[in-house]
Amino acid sequence: MKPSAMDHSASNHSATHHSAMSAYEIRLEGQLDPRWSDWFEGFTLTNGADGCTTLTGTVVDQAALHGLLRRVRDLGVTLLSVNALAGEEFAQL
């Protein structure tokens, strides 16, 4: 049976993103103590003047990102946003 165009496209998309590191900025409600940095797998924690915490760092794949988001959930803090960083923002990490 010949795979459909959609199957082929999804396969290529997955293979492309599987091997590349991706950078993310994750914003949380409230301010976390910097000691949580190790628990968030080396992400940098920055407490903003607005009372929020920003986690910035890289993950090896989507499974690692989902693992990081599970840690946010387990901590019980409110997730405000998840933004992929690209270009110059990614280079600064």
Residue 5 clears pLDDT 70, i.e. is over it:
no
- Those residues whose C-beta lies under 8 Å from the C-beta of residue 11, and which sit 6 or more positions away, are 3
| Separation between Cα atoms, residue 2 and residue 13, nearest integer Å | 18
Distances (CA, A) of 61 to 33, 35, 64, 82: 26, 24, 5, 15
Residue 23 near residue 89, CB atoms below 8 Å: yes
Cα–Cα distance between 27 and 80 in angstroms, integer?
5
For each of the domains in the chain, give its residue range(s) and CATH number, in order of start: 20-91 (3.30.70.100)
pTM listed for this prediction: 0.72
Q: Check pLDDT > 50 for residue 8.
A: no
Q: What is the pLDDT of residues 51-93, one digit of tens each?
A: 999 999 999 999 999 999 999 999 999 999 999 998 666 666 5
